[in-house]
Structure 1
Amino acid sequence: MTATLLLGVVVLVGSFVQASLGFGIAVVAAPFVVLLEPELMPASLLVLGLVLPLLQLLSGPRDVDRRLLGWALGGRLALTPVGAWLVHVLPTRGIAVAVGLLVLVSTVLSIRTVETTARPSTALGAGAITGVSGTAASIGGPFLAIVLQHEDPVRIRSTLSAFFVVGSSASLLSLAVSGQVTREQMTTSAVWVPFVVAGMLLARPVQDRLPRTAMRHGVLALCVVSSVVVTGRALLT
């Protein structure tokens, strides 16, 4: 229970980051979950990846790019079974390495802004990558965020939220069908939901006041350290 509550604090931080930037709860939390409670991956974080964006859509301003969302979801839904298959065949160590590398790739992409055009083909590609990475490791936000990076901030957050709600639901269903969702994962995710809500509420009054550059650099540094630790530990044990 102590580890679960400690991870709840990490989830709160991830929720705060996602509520501010549009994505981040899994990027921040997944490495710590892999280190402390690897058996909870990926379903417990996928539940949070459904709950937080759903709350954001219901309680905040909405401006969803339905055209790009449709293409992105098409790619994600098509490749989701591949992600579920990887969870079935990979050992815990393999999932840990996947999480570490995905966090590192996501961080590098965030540091070195990749110039893309928000068009159906790029949205489809980002969705396809997320179908695998989002299901196998609960991480996928950065890929579509890169496609949407030049859009209005409200549109970015709203479109990502809608993408997460549908995508996380599909990933959870696919994992459940393949027998990869446990009672412990669902119970723990329920314990973490209040931490998600707290992070979202804490982000609201400071969203437009935070020194975004400093916060972004801090989050990216944390992600690099955690990804290296997770990958190193998995490879050395």
Structure 2
Amino acid sequence: MENWILLVIIVLIASLLQASTGYGFSIVGTPFLLIIYPAHTAIQINMILSLCLSLFMIFKIGNEVDKPLLFRLIKGSIAGLVLGLFIYLYIDVRLLKMAVGGLILILTVLLICQLSIHQTKNRDILSGGISGLLTTSIGVPGPPLLLYFSSVGTGKALLRSTTLAYYLFVYFISLIMQISFGGTSKEAWISSLIAVPSLLVGILLGQFLFKWISQRAFRIITYNILLFTGGYLIASSFWF
């Protein structure tokens, strides 16, 4: 019962952040889920709930999605998903977490110092590929997209809607790959079902907050999410 109470609180906060910014559910939720669940179960709960969140929200904001950009992200992610699974199965994931975490922290500092790049189709595909790789290898697809879109100055509405549509694809494929190669557990599905009401409440609150978040506040939230992610990846490489 105590774990379920913590689960509800974690999902509420993480879904609120995701609905209001387009990022944050797996970044915030996964570290805390790992405290109360075994790693395999925690990651699958995150993927199941992330899928539900994307499904609930896409019907409301689907008309804001940049479809050509979404197609390029998905195109890049396909190769990344396969490579990420190979890394997950055969390479020390702790080293990958340390490398990715360090890179995220460095790039975030550069972003805070006003780093900007020009958006191109090839860079869209590359960012999708890196995101796909991180989804199947460590279950965190958001940082590459967040870094890339922040550096090219993407507006918050387009960023939120397009990344949510992308997550709908990448989490679905990743969950299938995880179940196919590693199986699943009854606990993951029961816990996910219990967390759905708090997920819906977080979505509603997050959509309300989205209207009141300025572009400047959005950037500040983005930087904090990235700094948290980078630090967490480095720290978790020693824990798990």
TM-score by length of 1: 0.81
Is the Cα–Cα contact under 8 Å of residues 102 and 139 in structure 1 kept in the other structure?
no
Aligned to 1:13: 13
The equivalent of 1:78 in structure 2 is 79
**1:35 pairs with 2:38:** no
Matched, 1:233 2:231: no
| Amino acid paired to 2:239 | R
CA contact (8 A) 2:104 2:230 kept: no
- Cα separation, 1, equivalents of 2:87 and 2:185: 17
Other-structure match for 2:133:
132
* Partner residue of 2:199 out of 183, 187, 196: 196
- 2:162 aligned residue (152, 159, 178): 159
Secondary structure class of the residue paired with 1:58: helix
Against the structure 1 CA distance between its residues 43 and 198, is the aligned structure 2 distance closer, same or farther, given a 3 Å change threshold? same
Identify which range, 99-108 or 62-71, moves more after superposition. Answer: 99-108
After TM superposition, list the pairs within 5 Å mapping 1:1-237 onto structure 2: 1-37=1-37, 38-60=39-61, 62-89=63-90, 102=100, 105-106=103-104, 109-113=107-111, 115-149=116-150, 150-210=153-213, 212=217, 215=221, 219=225, 223=229, 226-227=232-233, 229-234=235-240
The normalised TM-score by structure 2 is 0.80
- How far, CA to CA, are the matches of 1:82 and 1:181 in structure 2? 21
- Three-state SS of the structure 1 residue aligned to 2:205 is helix
User: How big is the shift at 1:147?
Assistant: 2.9
Partner SS state of residue 63, structure 2: coil
The alignment partner of 2:182 has SS state of coil
What is the letter of the counterpart of residue 25 of structure 2?
I
- Go from structure 1 to structure 2 and tell me whether the alpha carbon gap of 1:31 and 1:107 turns closer, same or farther (over 3 Å shift): farther
Give the match's secondary structure for 1:59: helix
Q: What is the DSSP-based 3-state SS (H/G/I as helix, E as strand, rest coil) of the residue aligned with 1:62?
A: helix
Task: State whether residues 27 and 225 of structure 2, in contact with CA within 8 Å, keep that contact through their aligned partners in structure 1.
Answer: no
The more displaced of 168-177 and 37-46 is 37-46
Post-superposition Cα deviations, 1:182-217, rounded to whole Å, max 9, x if no partner, equal 332222222222222111111222223357266556
Report the Cα offset of residue 160 of structure 1.
Answer: 0.4
CA spacing shift, 1:147–1:12, aligned 2, 3 Å: same
Deviation at 1:56, TM superposition (A): 1.5
- Cα distance change, pair 175–69 in 1 and its aligned pair in 2 (3 A): same
Cα distance in 2 for residues equivalent to 1:3 and 1:197: 19
Aligned residues: 231
Structure 2: which 5+ residue stretches go unaligned? none
Unaligned runs of 5+ in 1: none
How far apart in 2 are the matches of 1:125 and 1:102? 15
- Tell me the percent identity: 21
